[in-house]
Amino acid sequence: MTTNKRVLLTGGSGYLGQFVIDHLTQSNYERVTVTHLSHVSPPQTGVTSIFVDFLSEKDFLQCLEDVQPDVIINTAAISDIRRNENEPDKAAVINVPVVMFQWAQQRIAQGHNVLVVHFSTDQVFDGLSAPYKETDPVSPLHVYGRTKVLSEQRLVELLPANHIIFRPSVIVGPQPRTNN
């Protein structure tokens, strides 16, 4: 039985995103759309893959308007610590997708039900008092952690009842499939 939910997965060309795609293709969603920036994930039945430059607010909003997702799974991020330090403005735009959160907020205000599933990081903590609970105070040590704290704060502020936040630590697993 197919559900009439439309899913948008951001960051489909990333490591985590590729495994989320595998799960989504085994689910019964009406439509699954995947964004990518660096490369296209291997084609899969029932999945539409589109290029979106998150640095372009216009392109990102167009994607959201075209897809009209009921569920947004946000795995897109610049997670490389050094790159975040070297490109903090770019990291802030990609790691803190306020455009996405505001779009979902507007859809909810119009009577639609939108859920944002957001992947953050355990690097919102300083590592000195592990293990952590979700209610522990954050204390990031670098740009990546600070951008993820900000994204969590904005998401909670804009969508207080329509979000799920994951804070994984190291994500490991098998080598993802490639187009080769």
Stretch (H or E) spanning 21: helix 15-25
Of residues 15, 29, 132, 144, which has the active-site annotation?
144
Total residue count of the chain as it appears in this document: 180
Q: Is residue 132 annotated as part of the catalytic site, yes or no? A: no
Question: Comparing C-alpha atoms, which of 151, 143, 16 is closest to residue 75?
Answer: 16
Token pair belonging to 121: 């990081």
Collapsing DSSP states into helix, strand and coil, what is residue 114?
coil
Answer whether 124's CB lies under 8 Å from 140's CB: yes
Question: What are the residue numbers of the active site?
Answer: 144
